[in-house]
Amino acid sequence: MMRTRSLLLASLFLAASLGPTHAQVPAGPPAAGQAAPPMPMPVQPLPAEPRVPASRAEIGLSFAPVVAKTAPAIVNVYAMRAVQTRRGASLLEDPFFRRFFGAPDGPGFGGPSERIQRALGSGVIVDPSGLVVTNNHVIEGADEVRVALADKREFDAEILLRDPRTDLAVLKLKGGKGAFPSVVLGSSDDLLVGDIVLAIGNPFGVGQTVTQGIVSALARTQVGITDYQFFIQTDAAINPGNSGGALVDGAGRVVGINTAIFSRSGGSQGIGFAIPADMVRVVLQSALSGGTSVRRPWLGATLQSVNQDIADSLDLARPVGSLVQTVRPGSPAEKGGLRVGDLIVGVAGQEVDDPDAFGYRFATRPLGGSVEVSVVRQGKTATLHIPLLPAPESTPREEVTVTNRSPLGGATVVNLSPAVAEELRTVEAESGVVVLAIVDGSPAEMTNLRAGDVILEVNGVKITRTADLVRVTGQPARVWRITLQRGGRTLTAMLPG
């Protein structure tokens, strides 16, 4: 508060010292020997109506028309979730209280109580019917979602689709009369580094705010935010609460959804990331078609980044592209003629520098037909046509929850298939069952089992179907030997019975 006041005072002081007052302007002609006062600077009249800058020379003009065009469709998203807590549990952070009063179940602590967790973010109305795009992390786990418009109207919202892989979600406003204000989605491929953009959202819950900056970088990968890493980087101020808000170009088109910042303080440090509008469009189309999940093209191959050593061995001028490591039999990659050792350098005429860039370009293609993929094979460039097909669910899921007292009790598992591996973001194994969810407080949670783990073997028995796991864990054992795959690595644990 003191800092804010000091800044205001400094501004007022500068305004008083720089702006001439009537007392400072001499009246009448100057006395003999006295220099004539300087002529006042001519005042440039403001244009009758503010307009978007049409050239670099006009960059000082107002962006008010862009804001007026888009701001009514930028909303605040309030997500609420009921969580169970124990009275006094916060004292567990202090070792003194923990020593004398024990754990939450011990004496000195009350029973469970319920409190409401609230999350605040932003969103964008992308269709007059009331479809809102926001970040998945804003509404994740929410029991109730409410949306407030810029005109102060508020509506309950239904979650139509959540896509953790892109950190996007689509909501539908309930009620309302007439069409809602909406924005136009542009193409993020039209952006250039240095283009001016606006970020509109609700930072820190202070209300709708507009900030301005430039596109600092495009195709930013290896950020570690979502599966499809291909972000627009901007220096427009983005802060907590801006998540799900709009990144707008000079024509008033939404070119990205603001999703994350790089910050050591929790506030804006000039490095913000937005999900490109072309990826937003894919998620939105899935919601419009009535889907509850996003269907994307499946390649059926694993790719590797190219470092300088690999580039030298392939006689490349620089490290670029994605090297094919494996190709699954019967996959679109095999059908399109992709081979192990091929170097992918382009998709649909767009250059790809690494597997993240390829994943984005491939995932944003519509299902059906094929896409041109440029590869370097034995020093020669070739063009392949890869079919755009979804991952198949070749094996029925046969979902079950382990209910016995084994170390895997409380784990919900399904049979592995390419579709399940894509959905759970896990590396597909040749066999095994994959963990779908884990019950809180269960033996499986105590075992440190995680969603996405692929269980390969239990007590020497190979697990090929969920029924195998139920049968093996139903037999008592003094020692449990469990082998699983996590993130491409095979792990084995010995646990007491």
Residues 6+ apart with CB under 8 A from 432: 416, 454, 455, 456, 463, 464, 484, 485
Q: Which two tokens stand for residue 15?
A: 């305004």
90: annotated active-site residue? no
- Which one is catalytic: 122, 127, 137, 278? 137
Q: Which two tokens stand for residue 324?
A: 């094919």
167: annotated active-site residue? yes
420 strand-pairing partners: none
485 strand-pairing partners: 454, 490
Which three-class secondary structure state does DSSP give residue 347? strand
What distance in Å separates the CA atoms of residue 255 and residue 213, rounded to the nearest whole number?
14
Task: Read off φ and ψ for residue 213, nearest 5 degrees.
Answer: -165, -160
Residue from 256, 200, 243, 236 nearest 68 by CA: 200
- Which one is catalytic: 182, 188, 243, 322? 243
Residue from 145, 119, 140 nearest 130 by CA: 145
Can you say how many angstroms the Cα of residue 351 is from the centroid of all Cα atoms in its chain?
23
- Which one is catalytic: 122, 127, 163, 167? 167
Beta strands 154-163 and 168-173, pairing class: antiparallel
137: annotated active-site residue? yes
Is 385:416 a contact under the CB 8 Å cutoff? Answer: no
What distance in Å separates the CA atoms of residue 469 and residue 322, rounded to the nearest whole number?
37
Match 């009535």 to its residue by tokens.
290
> Known catalytic residues?
137, 167, 243
